[in-house]
Chain A
Amino acid sequence: MGFMDFFKSSWGVHPDDHKRPAADVTARRIPVPPRVYIPFSQHVGAPARPRVVVGQHVLKGECIAEAQGNISAPIHASTSGKVTAIGEITAPHPSGLPILAVTIDSDGDDSWIATEPIHDPFALAPADLARKVAEAGVVGLGGATFPSAVKLALGLRSRITQLIINGSECEPYLSCDDRLMRDSPDGIIGGIRIMLHATGAKEALVGIEDNKPEAIAAMRKAAAPYSEIRICPVPARYPMGSDRQLILELAGKEVPSDARAADVGVIVHNVGTAFATRQAIYEGRPLVSRLMTLNGGAMANPGNYEILVGTMVSDLIAFSGGYKGEAARLIMGGPMMGSVIPHAHVPVVKGTAGILAFTATEVAEEDARNCIRCGSCIRACPMGLLPLEMVNNIRADKLDGAEQLGLGDCISCGCCSYVCPSRIPLVQYFTHAKGQLWAQERSKLRNESTKKLAVRRTERIERETREKAEAAAKRKADKAAAAAAAAAKKETTGA
């Protein structure tokens, strides 16, 4: 840190990264588990619709659920075997609520379905490439799990000039992207070239944090023949991998708060996604496995493992060598933004970048104290928010006040909670408040539609009464007319 850095305001935090020694261990492959549990919802958007039946035999890579809606992704069998159940299992989520999943009893052969590799993707139209990626069920592997094909197709609608490839991996403890960049740089570069072609972007900037020199060297070597791909080391600082921060750092562009990256001509993809894209095109293989990090003080053999989607976390940990000491908390994802999983009987999904088992000392739980207004959270916030003021508003139940302070711009990165000397769970407050606001919005919409229905009902009743009255009046008039006519007739006949 240079002297002048003291005078620059700098967002973010510098947690101990704990990436080594796990990052330096050669990646290992976990054998095919006896049974895999594949949820239908592993991505942002609508869950996939099942298209297999219980008892059916499936091959590895066979589509078992198809995308439904514009933003969705299909799901493929991660190994060959028999579908033994389609039902609810515990979701890999802190709530531990049930989620719909396919259970496949593996037959041990792990035999692939016939694939259709494409040898010259650059001869294909961008739209066809995007379709192939969509069919392969590729989603953002950095954790956001946004269907990748949707982003690729954006290039056709918005004018995309730059592709930003996120290899920063700023979360502590995780090293799967690092490992992938060291071991398969050519695969990633191949994926980036496909993405460039699909989006029409002129150049790709690969951001890698400078705490991964081996990855930077490997990627530089692989990217050397392609002048349109630049490897850009970025300072190691959390949350460098957040898209808005990375776009600002690499492209120098600030994404307006109400816009998406594509609106300023940029698309961000993760290195793992680039690799999966290459697999999907050159080998025709859908996304059924991924590299992920097992780490944490309570993990006996920290390292990176290639794991089939749907593997139970308990199987995974047992295969890797189990726990070391007492695990106090199990985390899916990184320590800064990952979520607690209720127990180890949940499956690994496409977006799982790591499973961390922390000891009680690592977690170091402490009760929150009063805020001493030290302002650490303000200096740490990468979005320029006032976290302490927002919490004050939320605690006083002034959700509007928190919203005006920019609650909606909060990216839940956890920097504020991390630096807080009083251990106030700020992110917890923000998540709660966002949920409340969302619920309020929903109930407002519901009230409005109820009101609309009520108004229509009143109108209908009024109309019906009016019509009835009119009909009655008409009947009466008819009757009277008929009576008058009869009387007239009588008179005539009588006369």
Chain B
Amino acid sequence: MSQLSIAQAAPAAAPHVPGKASVSRTMFLVQATLVPATLYGFWLYGWPAIFLFLLTVGSCVFWEAACIRMAGRLTKPQLTDGSAILTGWLLAMTLPPWAPWWVAVVGGLLAIVFGKQVFGGIGQNLFNPAMVARVALLVSFPVPLTLWVMPLPITAAAAPGFIESIHLIAGTVAIPDAVTSASLLGHAKTELSRGIDLLHSFTGEHAPVISWIGARAGSLGESASLLIAAGGLSMFFLGIITWHIPVAMLLGVVIPAAIGHSVNPARYLDVSAHLLSGGVMLGAFYIATDYVTSPSTDKGKLIFGFGCGFLTYVIRTWGGYPEGVAFAVVLMNSLTPVIDRVTKPRILGRDKRGRPLQIKD
């Protein structure tokens, strides 16, 4: 009989069975889809890239823990949600793979403290933390942030060894000039500004090439474009993201690129150069789809995604920087609340303006 009376602490609201989704699970799955691209990047750029990655993620987790402690919030549930790791991971994917250690540490500080915690922590930030850090780093430290190296597979003879890599990241040894290279977008921009059009600037021996397998200078997330896209597709099939933002963002780049290139190939890069360069793939699947900083309705996502893509194209083509994904995403982040307000879904039984439907006889 004792079992028949159940002492219940407080009346709990329905539903009484929880769904399977949880923040930690979502973050874990996103990270899992990033693994192939990351490992490929590690192989391409060797030990310095691995160190930079670990430093960036570690820095983000450190700053997250520090902020949560200072705010006097419960540490365990917030630290274990995996969001700081993901922020660090994404930031590391956008940095030059051989960047010095302090870029990682400052990047983590900018992303977590100024990009996220000052707004109140997870879910409260207006801008994508990884992109805030990326933009701030690029604007503040343009030289190390634009120093790209050619892929030097970890198994290659010329690749820096473990100890040498520590020196490279610590800054005690400079990156040899022989391995540095301009990124494709950077090269195109520099040459155009020198008055050399695209038809001529890409004919030289050392000119960057479009590589579908990432055999050219770039960040981890850039070199592994195809693996990033594959990871993004698996997120879509896992139901973590919807198709709206990635498709709209890619269209936002592809449409103007196709028009521009067909009008003047000497002035405007072609579609594949745009798609496989810089952060477009990473941006479309992993950055712009950040839940917190993107609109929550389907229509809003389409507008947001297209805006990110189109602004990226505009900045790349006419702006001062060769790459514009980070700027485009941060700009569109600021529009998210407005987009959300104007793209409210229609309520069942009401018209688009929220008035009850008229009964038709």
Contact = CB atoms under 8 A, between A and B. Distances in A.
Interface stretch (A174-182, A215-223, A321-329): A321-329
B349 interface: yes
A57 B356 CA distance: 53
A331 interface: yes
Nearest to A317: B4
Contacts of B292: 372-373
Contacts of B296: 373-375, 378, 386, 388
B251 to A, nearest CB: 15
Interface in A358-392: 358, 362-367, 369-376, 378-379, 382-386, 388-389
Interface in A85-140: 94-95
A15 interface: yes
A340 B16 contact: yes
B174 interface: no
Contact of B347 (A365, A367, A384, A427): A384
A15 to B, nearest CB: 7
A417 B13 CA distance: 10
B6 A343 contact: yes
Interface in A304-348: 314, 317-318, 322-323, 326-331, 335-340, 342-345
Interface in B264-301: 291-292, 294, 296-298
A421 B239 CA distance: 13
Interface string A398-433: 000000111001001010011111110101100100
A362 B22 CA distance: 16
A431 B14 CA distance: 10
B124 interface: yes
Nearest to A385: B347
Contact of A363 (B16, B122, B243, B359): B16
Given A244-B348, A256-B349, A257-B347, A420 B21 contact: yes
B356 A421 contact: no
Interface residue SS majority, chain A: loop
B263 interface: no
Interface residues of A, number: 81
B118 to A, nearest CB: 15
Given A317-B4, A409-B350, A421 B13 contact: no
Interface in A52-96: 94-95
B25 A421 contact: yes
B306 to A, nearest CB: 17
Given A9-B298, A254-B357, A423-B18, A329 B12 contact: yes
**5 interchain residue pairs of minimum CB distance:** A257-B349, A375-B296, A428-B13, A94-B11, A370-B123
9 contacts: A255-B349, A256-B359, A314-B5, A322-B3, A370-B124, A371-B123, A384-B346, A409-B350, A428-B13
Interface of A: 6-7, 9, 13, 15, 94-95, 172, 244, 248, 254-259, 263-264, 314, 317-318, 322-323, 326-331, 335-340, 342-345, 356, 358, 362-367, 369-376, 378-379, 382-386, 388-389, 404-406, 409, 412, 414, 417-423, 425, 427-428, 431
Given A254-B349, A409-B348, 4 more contacts: A264-B359, A372-B123, A374-B26, A420-B21
